[in-house]
Amino acid sequence: MDRAFSYTVLIIFSLCISIKQQALAQEEPFGLKKRVPNTSLRINLSEGPPAQRLSQTGLFTDIASHTVSAGIIPYAVNSPFWSDGAIKTRYFALPEQSQVEFSAEDHWIFPPNTVLVKNFFLEFVRGDPTSRQPIETRFMVKDGSTDQWKGFSYEWNEEGTEAYLLDESQYKTFFIVDPSAPEGYTEQRYFYPGPEDCSFCHREAAGRALGARTGQLNGSFTYGTIRDNQLRALNNIGFFTRDISSTQDRWARWPNPLDESEPLELRARSYLAANCAHCHRPDGVSRADFDVRFSTPTETSRTVGISPSLGRLDAEPEQARIIQPGSADGSTLYLRTQNFSSFRMPPMGTSVLDQDGTDVLRRWIEGMSSPTSVHRVEVQPANFTLEQNYPNPFNAATNIDFALARTAQVNLSIFDISGQKVHTLVDETLGTGRHTVQWSGVGSNGQVVASGAYFYRLQTDRASETKRLILLK
């Protein structure tokens, strides 16, 4: 069967399920009956950063019992981003009764000073929901003065009674009781992002607010005792700037990757869309030029049979492809989810493998048939670009990618936060194209530098760009 036709059938199948569910839901009670103004969690970044204590932000009426304030609306996503097995709860906090511009396929447009909330919990006894404790709360705040999104992270105390705003990223090790482990417990290293780290995933090309979109919320949620489609419930309370009920046959829907009742290809593509497509899309990152958005058919995603543009892992065969049909072990898309090297994907903020999610990728790839013909198209960069280093933070070595639209004398240097040069990585003439340089955290004297924030600057005679990186030892 032609793959394009097959993919179309899968999409139609998914839409038919969604429409059937929506039709059945029309006779059911709405999960949300009335809009309550949000007057508590109000953040205006032009007036200053969020409060230092989570209890001071207005998210909770009682932080000890985690009782959320009125007017703050819960939601869930169909395909969660992998966060080392953390359990998450999510909330919309729109100022007063302001509304959201809806899009059936693309990202939504939120009003100024919107706050998107995500709480992270760990089970401190593996498999026991009663052992869950909060470890982090993140805010994504839309700056009313710039329309840009900015991220903030709060670290919870051990008692689960308060959380404190972090000024920069950090790691913390938790001990998890695990009867299946040889010693009866496991250590889990958890990453708390700093304010500068959120933009690494929450990219402009992806709309910044990643999970809050139609394909992710077109599914059921339990509001108290009533289960309802989230888009239907939100529409009922006037959450959107217009009534969207007449467009429900066009609502995108991403399936849960672990739902075995859904087609395997759609589940794999949903997993990639949630975990990879914020970077791997048009105008995402240049170092890996493929597109795994859910709306992009596999055969046009520039993955099948295409050689990887990054360096190879030791475990990758010489003839590995991004996707090698029929062979997960020959596919970098799968292999780079199975390690913690500098080419790990996702490249930051994770220390635990997602066994269940990546098993969906493995089964999907191994079930593919070989393509009849494959070719690689090399695209010369049109602009001077400097990418975010990866991994970031790092503790051994990190990679810095950049592209040149023409041959130029290039200087790439590392600076500390006081502006003092730490090391020069490149000072030579380089040709047009993409380049990768690795920094192992040493200064010009050959000694390892201290942990902390550093800056790297790429400079030619016509352009200059600077980005921030984090070294953790």
* Cβ atoms of 61 and 39 closer than 8 Å: no
Q: In this structure, are residues 437 and 399 in contact, taking their beta carbons and an 8 Å threshold?
A: yes
Higher pLDDT: 188 or 394? It is 188
Average pLDDT, the chain: 86
Determine the pLDDT at residue 18: 55
pLDDT at res. 383: 74
Q: Tens digit of pLDDT for each residue in 81-125?
A: 988 889 999 999 999 999 999 998 878 999 999 999 999 999 999
Measured between alpha carbons, how far is residue 140 from residues 215, 222, 464 in Å?
Answer: 20, 24, 29
Tell me which H or E stretch contains 21: helix 3-25
SS (H, E, C) 211-255: CCEHHHHCCEEEECCEEEEHHHHHHHCCCECCCCHHHHHHCCCCC
Mean pLDDT on 197-209: 65
Sheet holding 385-386, edge to edge: 385-386, 398-404, 433-439
Given the DSSP bridges, would you call strands 385-386 and 398-404 parallel, antiparallel or unpaired? Answer: antiparallel
For residues 200 and 141, the answer to whether their CB atoms sit within 8 Å is no
Q: What is the pTM of this model?
A: 0.72
Identify the burial level of 297 via C-beta atoms within 10 angstroms of its C-beta, where 0-12 means exposed, 13-18 middle and 19 or more buried.
Answer: middle
Residue type for position 194: G
* Confidence category of residue 147, pLDDT binned at 50, 70, 90: confident
Instruction: Look up residue 108 and give its amino acid.
Output: W
Residue with tokens 């026991």: 128
pLDDT digits (tens, 9 = 90+) for 281-326: 887 766 667 889 998 888 889 899 888 766 555 556 767 888 999 9
HSE at residue 74, side-chain half, CA atoms within 13 A, is: 19
Which domains are delineated in the chain? 10-250 (no CATH), 385-471 (2.60.40.4070)
Q: In terms of pLDDT, which residue wins out, 272 or 17?
A: 272
pLDDT attached to residue 206: 56
* Residue ranges of E strands in 329-451: 385-386, 398-404, 408-416, 421-430, 433-439
Q: Calculate the dihedral angle through the C-alpha atoms of 10, 16, 21, 23, rounding to the nearest 10 degrees.
A: 170
Q: 333-362: b or e for each residue (b if 16 or more CB lie within 10 Å)?
A: bbbbbbeeebbbbbbbbbebbbeebbebbb
CB 251, CB 18: distance < 8 Å: yes
pLDDT at 420 over 90: no
pLDDT tens digits, one per residue of 21-46: 554 445 689 999 999 999 999 999 99
pLDDT tens, 339-374? 766 566 766 667 788 899 999 999 999 999 754 333
246-260 mean pLDDT: 92
| Residue 271: half-sphere exposure toward Cβ, Cα within 13 Å | 28
Cα→Cα distances 124→147, 163, 164, 180, 191, Å = 39, 18, 21, 14, 17
Tell me, what's the pLDDT at 248? 87
What pLDDT band is residue 225 in, cutting at 50, 70 and 90?
Answer: very high
